[in-house]
Amino acid sequence: MFLFFTAQTEDANSLEFDWRGGVAELYVGGGFGGGTLTFQAKHPAIDEWIPVQGGEWTEPEVRRIEVDGPCKVRFVLADATASTVTAGV
């Protein structure tokens, strides 16, 4: 398992992951401290992070996400106070 965040306590961008494309289960757990966790992708030819459809969490959940690849993916935690978010694929 690759962990993007491990007990993340404040707003941040996660580590990036090289996504080959296809479907994967994303595991999101911990406390969100009122924040929102967003899954984003960036195509190699575009210098912009774009939210992935269905990739927004405000509570723990395992979710299947499909993203065409190859691309880079990451999580962004925003508006969190005293969070403990862990996210992995």
Domain regions of the chain by residue span: 3-37+49-71+80-88
Q: How far is CA 9 from CA 25, 57, 76, 81, 84, in A?
A: 23, 16, 12, 7, 5
User: 61-67 and 22-29 as β-strands: parallel, antiparallel, unpaired?
Assistant: antiparallel
Give pLDDT < 50 ranges for the chain. none
pLDDT for the residue 69: 85
Tokens of 46: 């575009």
Put simply, whether the predicted model's pTM sits higher than 0.75 gets the answer yes
pLDDT for the residue 51: 96
pLDDT for the residue 57: 97
